Chains A and B, each alone.
Chain A
Amino acid sequence: MRRHLVLCAATALFLAGCGSSTTPPQQSPQAGQSQKAEPVTVDWWHIATNDPGKSTLDKAAKAYMAEHPEVTIKITILENDAFKSKMSTVSSAGQAPDIFTTWGGGVLAQQVEAGLVKEVDLGEMKDSLTTAAVAPYVIDEKVYAVPTDIGMIGFWYNKDLFAKAGITEPPGTWSAYLEAVKKLKAAGIVPIALAGKEKWPGHFYWSYLAMRIAGLPALQQAAETKDFTNPDFVAAGQQLKALADLQPFQKGFENAAYPGPTGQSATVGNGKAAMELMGQWAPGSQKTEGKGLGEALGFFPFPAVEGGKGALTEAFGGGGGYAVGAEAPDAAVDFLKFLIAEERHAPAINDDLWLPIHKGEEATVSDPNKKAVAEALATATGFQLYLDQAYPPAVGQEVNDSVAQLIEGKKTPEEVVQSITEVAKSE
């Protein structure tokens, strides 16, 4: 009875959301390959509510339908949060759309475990995509989504303020970095802007330090054994504490958001802080939230830690892509391959939509900031997905929460790894 009610409610929501849908989607696993006559409908949920994303995706769908008259692609555009809540509604009823937005990692792994999505056969395309682009969607060595975008986190810095503090080149080692922070402080400049209220920007620091000190294999191993008590992770916390002890963040960072007129992005964009550790979207955001730095903006990767097991060339970041529902027709995967084929993907990069996912595609990028990220990614020797995305949601949030408390001086480096381990073991 109860099950019935849940199903009814979910179905009602589902139908209401789909608006004009009158015919139920016809799905048979072999539909894509069988005779042309058999019509197929592909349900596609994405979150590109604005251009250029919205129109690019729409155009691609129309172009595909023109080539394959038997396929109807039905697009449902949802706002980010609405998408997430609608996804949880349909997935608790055990159903997923044929194609839907994903960021990979722990959430995708849970969907795989619940049998909501299926493995994607990339075919020949698998070799042309960069390792980093596919990495977020690999679960037990199987690929569960088609990537459209990949980016990485690094330091976005104000060249003018660095020069004012007498720093001639971006620091390549952690000790040089701490030295640079001290120089900025001495020159009366706020070294770093941080959105403490939102917690996720803070976890970038701990994650990168863990990658540099403990190395990538250690992070993957910790995820499997659910044990983060490795002394190298404690050392990462100690280095972050050493940074926080210099009080490098803007006044009142504990309650600062990322967007907004007093947020992290605007603080850097208005030249009130010298740098931020942020993803490829930072330059755009600095311009919309603040004035933007123009030519003065530069990018450098997270410095290497002396004696650490990780390398400067290992990247930390994430991207976006599309997962395929467990009962989706073959046309769904075929369409996704069509969507990201280089002749369609590369022009979209310069339309300000995506970043390169194909090998060598970075050569086509014209924007200098995007190029900096794309080149760093193209030469990356290893890739780690955002920890709050890679791990199950509860573990990821605990990383964010504990690290925030470490930065605010409420937790010791040892307590951070203990809390994370405790949550990981209980999952």
Chain B
Amino acid sequence: MRRWVTITLFLLPALVLFVLLVLLPTLMAGYLSFFKWNGLGGLPTNYIGLDNYTRLFESDIFYGDLRTMGVIIVLSLLVQLPFSLAIAMLLHQRIRGRAFYRLVFFAPYVLSEAVTAVLFTMIFAPDESGLANAILGVVGLESEWFADESTVLLTLFVVMSWKYFGFHTLLYLAGRQGIPKELTEAAQIDGSTPWQVFRYVTLPLMGPTIRISAFLSVIGTIQLFDLVWILTGGGPSHSSETLAVTMMQFGFKRAQIGYASAISVVMFLLSLVFALWYQRYVMRRDLEGATVQ
């Protein structure tokens, strides 16, 4: 009995916050998504069933959002994370100025998204005033970057990678440092090449770290907002729009709170289904032992 009192007491503050700031808004959004409501005058009254959802699934913008999301997830998993891993491996070596490099690579992650966005708006300015065009112009590779539909996603990905690779590098570095030296030494004594040591000893042992970093990267992409909003606003012609940007457009610019709630519910479900699936099938072994029997 005493035990339950203690548990309740310790749980209560977090529980109250969780219910008030996570559970309740989620339920509210779910409820509002069945109404046509502009957010004015008391509670919504115009119940329209699943209309907001059918409208969403018929909208080209929604499928464009999914495409943007897919492209960025694939690029992140295939380019950004391996790059971070490589940097982490380098930073694990005994090299001069290692602490300095660690600081430099992590610095972008500490910058706010808005600052990053403003910075890169100037770097990727479409005319000759931008740094990117000034440098790449020498080899004839100028571009209009964010202003051109064919380059906007790639440019956006470069900015995202710049911002977040330091975070993943930090995770990998911590994961790498957790691997006992004896294991790599044993492999070396048995005559493994450095590549073999990495491929058969380091990489498998870093599995849990890699899986959690991929998880964070995907969830972050599903909810991507700040950078896109400031850098492109979703344009040109919706070509870099994400679900969260569409939600903002409809909820706050068009005053269609019901429809925007439907978008947020879809985003929530995407994240939830992905998280459950990922934990069940990909991270199952990592999570074993995390719960007390």
Contacts and interface: CB of A to CB of B under 8 A. Distances in A.
Answer yes or no: do A and B interact.
yes
Nearest to A262: B125
B24 A5 contact: yes
Contact of B147 (A92, A253, A398): A253
B10 to A, nearest CB: 25
Interface in B240-289: 249-250, 253-256
Contact of A255 (B122, B145, B249, B254): B145
Given A5-B24, A251-B127, A393-B255, A92 B42 contact: yes
Contacts of B40: 88, 91-92, 110-111, 113-114, 116
A397 B145 contact: no
Interface residues of A, number: 39
Interface of B is mostly: loop
B235 A255 contact: yes
Contact of B127 (A5, A92, A196, A262): A262
Contacts of B125: 252, 262
Nearest to B44: A92
Interface string A1-36: 011011000000000000000000000000000000
Contacts of B256: 394
Contacts of B255: 107, 110, 392-394
A91 B24 CA distance: 20
Contacts of B38: 110, 392-393
A254 B39 contact: no
B49 interface: no
Given A196-B235, A198-B233, A394-B255, A254 B43 contact: no
Contacts of A68: none
A52 interface: no
B237 interface: yes
A255 B24 contact: no
A254 B148 contact: yes
Contacts of A115: 41
B175 interface: no
A250 interface: yes
B236 A196 contact: yes
A351 interface: no
Interface residues of B, number: 32
Nearest to B233: A197
Nearest to A91: B40
Interface stretch (A37-45, A160-168, A233-241, A402-410): A402-410
B113 interface: no
B235 A91 contact: no
B112 interface: no
Interface in A68-127: 88, 91-94, 107, 110-111, 113-116
B24 A197 contact: no
A110 B152 CA distance: 37
Contacts of B253: 393, 397
B126 interface: yes
Of A252, A256, A408, the most chain B CB neighbours within 10 A belong to A252
B121 interface: yes
Interface string B92-133: 000000000000000000000000000001100111010000
A261 interface: yes
A197 B254 CA distance: 17
A260 interface: yes
Contacts of A114: 40-42
B42 A197 contact: no
Contacts of A262: 121-122, 125-127, 129
A100 to B, nearest CB: 14
A392 B39 CA distance: 13
Nearest to A388: B253
Of B144, B146, B253, the most chain A CB neighbours within 10 A belong to B253
Contacts of B233: 197-198
Contacts of B147: 196, 251-256
Contacts of A2: 28, 31, 43
B43 A3 contact: yes
Given A196-B236, A252-B127, A408-B237, A92 B39 contact: yes
Nearest to B240: A255
29 contacts: A2-B28, A2-B31, A3-B42, A6-B43, A88-B39, A93-B42, A113-B40, A113-B41, A114-B42, A115-B41, A116-B41, A196-B235, A251-B126, A252-B125, A252-B144, A252-B145, A253-B147, A255-B145, A255-B232, A256-B126, A256-B147, A262-B125, A392-B255, A393-B254, A397-B253, A397-B254, A404-B235, A405-B237, A408-B237
Given A251-B147, A252-B126, A252-B127, 10 more contacts: A91-B40, A91-B41, A196-B147, A196-B236, A197-B232, A252-B145, A252-B147, A393-B253, A393-B255, A394-B254
